[in-house]
Amino acid sequence: MSEINDEIIYGRNSVRELLKADKPVNKVLFQSEGTGTNFQELVEVAREKRIPFQFVEKSALDRLTAHAKHQGVLAYVAPREYATVEDILGLARSKGEDPFILVLDEVEDPHNLGALIRTVDAVGAHGVIIPKRRSVGLTGTVAKTSAGAVEHVLVARETNLVQTLEELKKEGCWIAGAEAGGVEASQTDLTGPRVLVIGSEGKGIGRLVREACDEIVSLPMKGKINSLNASVAGSILLYEVLRQRTAKTSP
């Protein structure tokens, strides 16, 4: 009998029903050895629904399920439904506000994602966009780190961030990427329809995503360390956007 264990569901029947029910799934793992074509149906469903999947050794599934009878398949389940980019833009329109969106390029640490979602809620931004691959999704750890903010912040998961940024430009948004060497954030205008892009913990913003940005902004660094944790840098920049917006609307 397959079981549910916190953020994962395993067992062929359970995963099959999960995929058919259109529940939010972050990723599916299939056993790579000795499976033949046993998973072909599930693989096709995952591919059709654009759910990331990967083939791994049986030992990996054994470890993740504490040696339960996983039957060679495991799915990571998101704690809440993902939104769409249109949902985020629609929220801004419903509030009569310029879009204020955070885009995360391959941020893999769930604590960073959770902390940033919490800050997005605090500054009144309209949502977060993350990539489907090479990025942490909505997990229990993310939800816990966000201190409940994940229930209030729209998070969209997109296949192609560059294409998404180009679509946001067509909606009138100005894209600011955060990276060392850019113009100091406090010295540039961050008001109006605004998308802020934060890169991964190790590599920063990818080349193609950087090229899609309208400008690069940075924070002043006076110490001996030349970079900040992604959630710290992102939070400071989100508050800089809020500061400028508040100053612009104040009498």
- Tens of pLDDT, residue by residue over 131-173, are 988 888 888 788 888 888 888 999 999 989 999 999 999 999 9
Give percent of the chain with pLDDT exceeding 90: 46
Q: Cα–Cα distance between 8 and 27 in angstroms, integer?
A: 10
Which DSSP category does 30 fall into? E
Report domain extents, the chain: 4-77, 85-249
Q: For the chain, count helices (H), then strands (E).
A: 9, 11
- The DSSP code sequence of 169-237 is HHTTPEEEEEEEEEEEGGGS---SSEEEEE-BTTTBS-HHHHHH-SEEEE----SS-----HHHHHHHH
Predicted TM-score of the model (pTM): 0.79
Give φ, ψ of 119 to 5 degrees: -70, -40
Q: Angle, to 10 degrees, between the axis of helix 85-94 and the axis of helix 161-170?
A: 30
4-77 placed in CATH 3.60.15.10:
no
Mean confidence (pLDDT) of the chain:
87
Sign of CA dihedral 11, 12, 15, 17: negative
Q: What is the pLDDT of residues 1-40, one digit of tens each?
A: 344 445 788 888 888 888 887 778 888 999 887 555 577 8
The highest-confidence range among 25-29, 39-43, 180-184, 190-194, by mean pLDDT, is 190-194
Q: What is the pLDDT of residues 45-80, one digit of tens each?
A: 888 888 888 898 888 888 888 888 888 889 888 878
Q: From start to end of the chain, where are the E strands? A: 4-5, 8-10, 25-31, 53-56, 73-77, 100-104, 127-131, 155-158, 174-184, 194-198, 215-218
Intrachain domains 4-77 and 85-249 with the same fold? no
Q: Which residues contact 13 (CB under 8 A, 6 or more apart)?
A: 2
85-249: which CATH topology? Alpha/beta knot (3.40.1280)
Which DSSP category does 67 fall into? T
